[in-house]
Amino acid sequence: MNRSKIEWCDYTWNPITGCWHSCEYCYARKMTARFAGDVRLNMMAKEDYYTQESKDGSGPVFILDKPMLNETGHVLAYPFGFEPTIHRYRLNTLDKLKMGNNIFVGAMADMFGAWVPDEWIRGVMEACEENIMHNYLFLTKNPQRYTEYGVRTGLENFWYGTTITREVEMSKFNLLPAGCKIFVSMEPILEDLAPEQHNLLFRQVDWIILGAETGSKKGKTVPELDWVKKIVVQADKAEIPVFMKDSLIPIVGEADMRREFPSELQKKIISKKMEKKLYGNCASCKTNKRKSNMIALLARAKRGEMPKQLGFLCKDCFEILCKQLELDMPDFERGKSNDL
């Protein structure tokens, strides 16, 4: 899992990599080529992986239960290039994050491509459901697979999206799953999407992301300002938040950039492990509060020893204790520590 340079998410997580769409503007295919090593040699190491037939029967897909290493001992992130691969050893990494984050699942794949086996998708979904503090964002050019697979409805932290680059693809709005949080990524915008002719579709989604071509294709097709404005007008009419990627700054101008998130994606939930670290019960009234808002009780047996923490008291209970012991209540507002 990696900190993301994609502006609309915090992390990218790639338990599944590779894609057979062959999009000409795909950044992921070029990136995998840089970190694949010698794919021909990797495929000869048959003791390190195994294969199965793809969901649509169009060829073999690859399975890794542990990382594949190159001759110098370094992990190969994409040992089979852009061939569809499930990295099962990555499925148990979500709990390493202490706070809830917006995670783009499958940034280096199309996890809902027609070739992806159902059990691969199931494994990823189960891992996500075991770590409910995160928001998970899925993006596919094959949105009908959401319904074919049968994604669970009613999950506030699972967001299902599709990519639209041309007007002929606007009907993909209708293929997003009902009863779920859904979004559309209009990136790269390759032509006028004529959103005014599809205004009813905008009422169906919860978020719209806009962007232009980047990387080696940057500048080949530059969206016109009017194309972008028309999309924003329809989104505003439907009261849908709009997020513009930085690739639109030269077109829109920094002052008019929209970087809006749905309210659900702005919430940060603390993991159980971090909650235990940050929160505790008052030793007297047992109220659960942030430890930083309570008084830490420390004690040591003799001078020079490091004090040991005994517990915490909320400020009300600490004030009662001070009165019972006829001690002056310290002025913690002026101090730099809640330790006693």
Strand bridging mode 308-313 / 135-140: unpaired
Given a contact cutoff of 8 angstroms between Cβ atoms, the answer to whether 16 and 127 are in contact is no
Q: Looking at 240, 268, 296, which one is the last position of a domain?
A: 268
Which residues contact residue 261 at a Cβ distance below 8 angstroms, ignoring those fewer than 6 apart?
8, 207, 241, 243
C-alpha 70: how far from chain center? 29
Q: Looking at 268, 285, 305, which one is the last position of a domain?
A: 268
Do 44 and 124 have their domain in common? yes
Do 1 and 93 have their domain in common? yes
Instruction: Give the residue numbers spanning the domain of 205.
Output: 143-268
Do 252 and 293 have their domain in common? no
Do 236 and 318 have their domain in common? no
Do 181 and 246 have their domain in common? yes
With respect to residue 111, please indicate whether it lies within any of the assigned structural domains: yes
What is the average pLDDT value for the chain, to the nearest integer?
A: 90
With respect to residue 336, please indicate whether it lies within any of the assigned structural domains: no
Mean pLDDT along residues 304-318: 90
Do 130 and 149 have their domain in common? no
Do 73 and 100 have their domain in common? yes
Strand extents, DSSP E, the chain = 2-3, 11-13, 16-17, 50-53, 60-64, 68-69, 75-76, 85-87, 102-105, 135-140, 158-163, 181-186, 207-210, 242-244, 279-281, 288-290, 295-299, 308-313
With respect to residue 39, please indicate whether it lies within any of the assigned structural domains: yes
With respect to residue 330, please indicate whether it lies within any of the assigned structural domains: no
Q: Give per-residue pLDDT as tens, 153-189.
A: 999 999 999 999 999 999 999 999 999 999 999 999 9
Classify burial at 238, counting beta carbons within 10 Å of its beta carbon; exposed 0-12, middle 13-18, buried 19 or more.
middle
Do 129 and 99 have their domain in common? yes
Mean pLDDT along residues 32-49: 83
Over 70: is that where the pLDDT of 337 sits?
Answer: no
Q: Looking at 137, 153, 177, which one is the last position of a domain?
A: 137
Question: CA nearest 85: which of 39, 129, 128, 127?
Answer: 39
pLDDT category of residue 210 using cuts at 50, 70 and 90: very high
Classify burial at 249, counting beta carbons within 10 Å of its beta carbon; exposed 0-12, middle 13-18, buried 19 or more.
middle
Over 80: is that where the pLDDT of 311 sits?
Answer: yes
**How many domains are contained in the chain?**
3
Do 262 and 281 have their domain in common? no
In this prediction, residue 304 carries a pLDDT of 80
Distance, in Å, from the CA atom of 248 to the CA atom of 225, rounded to the nearest integer, reads 9
Express as a percent the part of the chain with pLDDT over 70: 95
With respect to residue 178, please indicate whether it lies within any of the assigned structural domains: yes
Mean pLDDT along residues 232-261: 96
With respect to residue 157, please indicate whether it lies within any of the assigned structural domains: yes
Q: Could you tell me if residue 52 is left (phi over 0), alpha (psi between -120 and 50 degrees) or otherwise beta?
A: beta
Do 192 and 285 have their domain in common? no
Q: Give per-residue pLDDT as tens, 76-121.
A: 889 998 899 999 999 999 988 888 999 999 999 999 999 999 999 9
Do 147 and 230 have their domain in common? yes
With respect to residue 338, please indicate whether it lies within any of the assigned structural domains: no
In this prediction, residue 283 carries a pLDDT of 93
Do 148 and 128 have their domain in common? no
With respect to residue 113, please indicate whether it lies within any of the assigned structural domains: yes
Over 80: is that where the pLDDT of 264 sits?
Answer: yes
Given a contact cutoff of 8 angstroms between Cβ atoms, the answer to whether 131 and 55 are in contact is no
Which residues contact residue 266 at a Cβ distance below 8 angstroms, ignoring those fewer than 6 apart?
none
Distance, in Å, from the CA atom of 265 to the CA atom of 274, rounded to the nearest integer, reads 20
In this prediction, residue 219 carries a pLDDT of 62
Distance, in Å, from the CA atom of 282 to the CA atom of 324, rounded to the nearest integer, reads 17
